[in-house]
Amino acid sequence: MKSARRRMVVILYGKGGVGKTTVCSHLAAQYAAGGRKVLLLGCDPKTDTSTRFLSGKKPPTMLDMVEGRFGRRFSELLTRTPSGVDIMETGGPEPGVGCGGRGVATLCQFLEEHPRELASYDVVLFDVLGDLVCGGFVAPLRFGKGNCVFIISSEEPASLFAANNIARMTRRPYYDAAAVGGIIFNLRHNDAPQGHLASFAKKIGVAVVGSVPRDPLIMEAEERGLTVQAHAPSSKAARQFAVLAKAVEAACRSKRSAKAAPMGNDEFWAFVRQHRIASL
């Protein structure tokens, strides 16, 4: 059994569409390729965390389990993939019925019911849905020791707003255990002004862990149901994810930005105006 100290729990939050699933999937693939035992948890009704590992085929979901389509054994929800990444997906309720956050909380409860199986993993990654909007989405923070929050943002104001909100969430007293490993910038436009990004990270007291440029190869691989490591292993994009995986691990282990210093909303918009940050 792996000790809790060794295990790394990476929790990615960011605005909708900013690249959480992309970054999470590629980190998972990188750690698995390095011989780690990896559990990737998709917390999104789209059930797309597994897309790049199962060529788009949909795995069983937590919702299927709750609805009684199979039992509550760990192995029944788990999907093993050829890349070595093990995956679980929450799935999601019918639109207008139920609550996505509840699905995340239910998955976390399920993991807590299986401590032995969970402890067998070296790396656990949570790909959490959308902006931080409800209590259910923060359920992964319950895993305490070894967990580390990473914020993903583009260079755009709405994405930075969500990033600041996520930093605010980590300061709530009841999530005191939540260390922020740092921020990952997943660029929407490679040629957009980026001077404000380091200032933003500094302002909210988090380290910049890495930056992922926009690269059409990432979408090309996704369309084929693959990670870039599998689709184009010697590409620049694949190398960039290898670098990012190392940086995420180093940040997770060092917890150097354990306490974020987020802005209030008015201060945030003043920052946007001061730096002339615009949506493109």
Ligand X SMILES: Nc1ncnc2c1ncn2[C@@H]1O[C@H](COP(=O)(O)OP(=O)(O)OP(=O)(O)O)[C@@H](O)[C@H]1O
Residue 15 Cβ vs Mg ion, minimum distance, rounded to whole Å: 11
Q: Is 131 a catalytic residue?
A: yes
Rounded Cα–Cα distance for residues 263 and 269 (Å): 9
Please provide residue 126's backbone torsions phi and psi, each rounded to the nearest 5 degrees: -105, 120
Which residue has the closest beta carbon to Mg ion? 21
Stretch that binds Mg ion, among 16-24, 53-61, 132-140, 178-186 (CB under 5 A): 16-24
Q: Which of 17, 16, 23 is nearest to 211 (CA)?
A: 23
Per the CB < 8 A criterion, the answer to whether 92 and 63 are in contact is yes
Please count the residues of the chain: 280
Q: Under rule CB under 5 A, how many of the chain's residues touch Mg ion?
A: 2
Residue 237 Cβ vs ligand X, minimum distance, rounded to whole Å: 8
Q: At what angle do helices 157-170 and 265-274 cross, to 10 degrees?
A: 140
Q: Is 37 a catalytic residue?
A: no
Measured from the CB atom, the residue of 20 and 231 that comes closer to Mg ion is: 20
Measured from the CB atom, the residue of 22 and 257 that comes closer to ligand X is: 22
In the chain, DSSP assigns E strands to 8-14, 38-43, 79-80, 85-89, 123-128, 147-153, 179-186, 208-212
The partner in contact with residue 155, picked from Mg ion, ligand X, none with C-beta cut-offs of 5 to 8 angstroms by kind, is none
Catalytic residue among 46, 57, 145, 236: 46
Catalytic residue among 15, 44, 203, 215: 15
Residue 202 Cβ vs Mg ion, minimum distance, rounded to whole Å: 27
Which residues, numbered 18-37, are part of the site for Mg ion (CB under 5 A)? 20-21
Catalytic residue among 44, 127, 131, 215: 131
Where do contacts with ligand X occur on this chain (CB under 6 A)? 14, 16-22, 44, 129-130, 186, 212, 214-215, 218-219, 222
Beta bridge partners, 150, equal 12, 182
Q: Is 191 a catalytic residue?
A: no
Q: Is 90 in the site for Mg ion (CB under 5 A)?
A: no
The partner in contact with residue 139, picked from Mg ion, ligand X, none with C-beta cut-offs of 5 to 8 angstroms by kind, is none
Measured from the CB atom, the residue of 21 and 227 that comes closer to Mg ion is: 21
Per the CB < 8 A criterion, the answer to whether 145 and 255 are in contact is no
Per the CB < 8 A criterion, the answer to whether 187 and 154 are in contact is yes
Which residues, 6 or more positions from 71, have their beta carbon under 8 angstroms from its beta carbon?
65
Q: Which of 208, 147, 135, 207 is nearest to 176 (CA)?
A: 147
Rounded Cα–Cα distance for residues 80 and 217 (Å): 25
Q: Is 46 a catalytic residue?
A: yes
Measured from the CB atom, the residue of 19 and 92 that comes closer to ligand X is: 19
Measured from the CB atom, the residue of 22 and 50 that comes closer to ligand X is: 22
Q: Tell me how crowded residue 193 is: count the other CB atoms within 10 A of its CB.
A: 13
Residue 134 Cβ vs ligand X, minimum distance, rounded to whole Å: 15
Per the CB < 8 A criterion, the answer to whether 125 and 163 are in contact is no
Measured from the CB atom, the residue of 158 and 177 that comes closer to ligand X is: 158
The partner in contact with residue 171, picked from Mg ion, ligand X, none with C-beta cut-offs of 5 to 8 angstroms by kind, is none
Catalytic residues: 15, 20, 46, 131
